[in-house]
Amino acid sequence: MLYIKCPHCGMRPQTEFSYGGDATVKRPELNKEISDHEWDDFVYNRKSLRGKHLELWQHISGCRQWIKVERDTATHEIFKTFKADEEVA
Amino acid sequence: MSQKFRIENVGLINRDKKLSFKFNGKTYYGYEGDTLASALIANGVHLVGRSFKYHRPRGFFGAGVDEPYAIVQLYRNGETEPNIKATEQELFEGLEAKSVNCWPSVNFDIGAINNFLKIFLPAGFYYKTFMWPKSFWYWIYEPFIRKAAGLGVASIKHDKERYEHKYEYCDLLIAGSGPSGLASAYAAANNGAKIILAEDKPRFGGSLLTSDVNIGNQSGKDWADGIIAELKTMPNVVVKNRSQIFGYYDHNMLVMSENVSDHLPKTKKYHPNKRLWYIRAKQVLISSGSIERPIVFGNNDTPGVMLSSAAKEYLKVYGVLVGRNPLVFTNNDSGYETAIEFKKHGVDPIVLDSRKNPESEIISEAKNLGISIKNSYVVVAAQGYKKVKSADIASISDDKKQLGKMENVKCDCICVSGFWTPTIHLASQSGNKTKFKEEIDAFVPGQSKQSEITLGAANGVFSLEETLKTSFAAGSELSKKNN
């Protein structure tokens, strides 16, 4: 079971969190002609990466905030966690 | 009924408290501190079950969690539980147990006919045989096959027991309370680290309970008792017996199952039956020891064939002789320890050593005690059906390829010792890449992936002095890192 550092609450076990998917996908810009292909990519298409991956988690049984977690999908090592509005370098 | 195989004044059991129990409907007696296995052996019962397909007789092979054969159906407080290892179940007043996979009784089992028809029953024959005629399936084949399948019977009643789970955090989790676990726990506890020490058996001390060693001017067992007593007074230490760590998950999360009530006739009010601990440890120290290896020979599943370490444990911990005419078959020095223990308690063992000219301190001690030792000898087959009656032995050539003339020696148990295999499961689960150690012919933990360290026999170190030294150093080093 992973041990995740919530930027608001501190170290908490994985059971308190809910997984929210890839944090790097960007919503297509508003007021612009958007092709079906772009919508498809945004809504459905994800890469199954092996290695470092930035993902969203929600601290559902805690502060209920969304956070970003930088995690290795192969070894489960967690490098860093960010608040949802924080810019990731 | 007298306990024919119990010897006086030996063991760690409480002889003031006699307990009665039933096995297959017959009443026997044992003492407080016995396991079901040791109490049965004390009463001369070796036949406890039947094997799955051929219904071959099954006895005891080990003395703890390593037992592969002695599986029984347990009745406790109006409930029944299948698949209980007789070697792990502690005795309590009024315990009832039954053999599984035998009908009408373990002594006379009709299913044993399979053993004689085995040439007609190759693997998978059922898939072809029970296809025709089709109408036979529902009324004849299926009820019959269902009756033959499975070992125990699951209870269909609602389970009235309560089960708890809890979370715990610690600086150092120590799995196993042998010499290595105790030394490191002691060193780390004195540095103020928060420690959990877990032992899966009821008694602390591990191998110190069965080996004849001295630490300082104390016997191994007294040393262990002293350290445990001291650890229990410390507020930063949690000491748990009957608690087995069985899982190592990501980010140093370990799971431990604590047996709270199964050794009592009835669960106490407000107590759970078992408690599951989720432990998040900063450091894990695995000191789970090692398990003895069996040696392969004909009919080595006959009741009466067992590990020499198990025979020694039954003798030293429970005061029970596994036989009065033992044969010790070994390929290393450990078998001699068992032989010496037998000799000390008035039983004359025969030692067969597959090596040609072994020399060591313990072998000369055995020779001085007058134990008969046959070098370059092996057991070819055990004879006897429900209990070992004799053994076919033969000399073996230096290249281990040629057997000499077969002889038959009378014996009532064969204690085998094929050296030791480190218990590395926890290290493997942590993601540790194990490596093969040539000197001991076994895998030991290699590069750690999480913050764990394996010490003592589990790391392939079988010398007590070195184990104590490294464990003590590791314990104090690891606890320093945390503060």
Q: What is the set of domains in chain B, with CATH numbers?
A: 14-148 (3.10.20.440), 163-290+421-482 (3.50.50.60), 294-418 (3.50.50.60)
Q: What is the rounded CA–CA span in Å between residue B429 and residue A54?
A: 26
CA terminus-to-terminus distance, chain A: 27
**A33 inside domain:** no
Specify the pLDDT at position A87: 85
If you measure CA to CA, which chain A residue comes closest to B430? A75
Task: Provide ipTM, 2 decimals.
Answer: 0.85
Specify the pLDDT at position B139: 84
Q: How confident is the model at residue B480 (pLDDT cuts 50, 70, 90)?
A: confident
pLDDT tens track for B133-142: 778 888 888 8
**A29 inside domain:** no
Mean pLDDT of chain B: 92
Specify the pLDDT at position B182: 96
Closest CA to B311 of B289, B295, B327: B327
Name residue, tokens 């010490």: B455
Specify the pLDDT at position B1: 52
pLDDT for residue B483 is more than 60: no
- Max CA separation in chain A (angstroms): 44
**A36 inside domain:** no
Return the H-helix or E-strand segment holding B475. helix B464-482
A13: domain CATH number is 3.30.2270.10
pLDDT tens track for A22-57: 999 988 888 888 899 999 999 999 988 999 999 999
**A58 inside domain:** yes
**A56 inside domain:** yes
Mapping DSSP to helix (H, G, I), strand (E, B) and coil, where does residue A40 land? helix
pLDDT for residue B157 is more than 80: yes
**A32 inside domain:** no
Specify the pLDDT at position B481: 67
Range B189-218 burial, b when 16+ CB lie within 10 A, else e:
bebebbbbbbbbbebbbbbbbbbeeebeee
pLDDT for residue B477 is more than 80: yes
DSSP label of B109: B
> Using the beta-carbon criterion (under 8 Å), do B280 and A13 form an inter-chain contact?
yes
pLDDT tens track for B179-222: 999 999 999 999 999 999 999 999 999 999 998 889 989 999 99
Residues of chain A with C-beta less than 8 angstroms from the C-beta of B252: 3
Q: Which residues contact B373 (CB under 8 A, 6 or more apart)?
A: B351, B353, B363, B366, B367
Return the structure tokens found at B17. Answer: 């408290």
Higher pLDDT, A21 or B119: A21
> Using the beta-carbon criterion (under 8 Å), do B250 and A13 form an inter-chain contact?
no
**Cβ distance B182 to B199 under 8 Å?**
no
Can you say whether residue A15 is alpha, beta or left, with left for phi > 0 and alpha for psi between -120 and 50 degrees? alpha
Specify the pLDDT at position B293: 94
Mean pLDDT of chain A: 92
pLDDT for residue B131 is more than 70: yes
pLDDT tens track for B448-457: 999 999 999 9
**A31 inside domain:** no
> Using the beta-carbon criterion (under 8 Å), do B251 and A75 form an inter-chain contact?
no
Q: What is the rounded CA–CA span in Å between residue B244 and residue B35?
A: 17
Q: Which residues contact B114 (CB under 8 A, 6 or more apart)?
A: B53, B54, B55, B121
Look up the domain containing A11 and give its range: 3-24+41-83
Size of interface A-B (CB pairs under 8 A): 21
- How many Å lie between the alpha carbon of A76 and the closest alpha carbon of chain B? 7
pLDDT tens track for B138-156: 888 888 777 777 788 888 8
pLDDT tens track for B271-314: 999 999 999 999 999 999 999 999 999 999 999 999 999 999 99
Mapping DSSP to helix (H, G, I), strand (E, B) and coil, where does residue B397 land? coil
Q: Which residues contact B12 (CB under 8 A, 6 or more apart)?
A: B33, B203, B209, B221, B317, B318
Beta bridge partners of B436: B443
Q: What is the rounded CA–CA span in Å between residue B19 and residue B281?
A: 40
Q: How confident is the model at residue B421 (pLDDT cuts 50, 70, 90)?
A: very high
Q: How confident is the model at residue B369 (pLDDT cuts 50, 70, 90)?
A: very high
If you measure CA to CA, which chain B residue comes closest to A5? B251
Q: What is the rounded CA–CA span in Å between residue A17 and residue A61?
A: 7
pLDDT for residue A74 is more than 80: yes
**A60 inside domain:** yes
Which positions 267-306 of B are in contact with A (Cβ < 8 Å)?
A: 278, 280
Give the pTM.
0.91
- How many Å lie between the alpha carbon of A12 and the closest alpha carbon of chain B? 11
Residues of chain B with C-beta less than 8 angstroms from the C-beta of A13: 167, 253, 278, 280
Number of domains in chain A: 1
Residues of chain B with C-beta less than 8 angstroms from the C-beta of A78: 251
Return the H-helix or E-strand segment holding B419. none
- How many Å lie between the alpha carbon of B424 and the closest alpha carbon of chain A? 20
> Using the beta-carbon criterion (under 8 Å), do B253 and A76 form an inter-chain contact?
no
List for chain A the helix, strand, coil content (%; round to 5). Answer: 10, 35, 50
If you measure CA to CA, which chain B residue comes closest to A76? B250
Alpha helices in B403-460 (DSSP H): 425-429
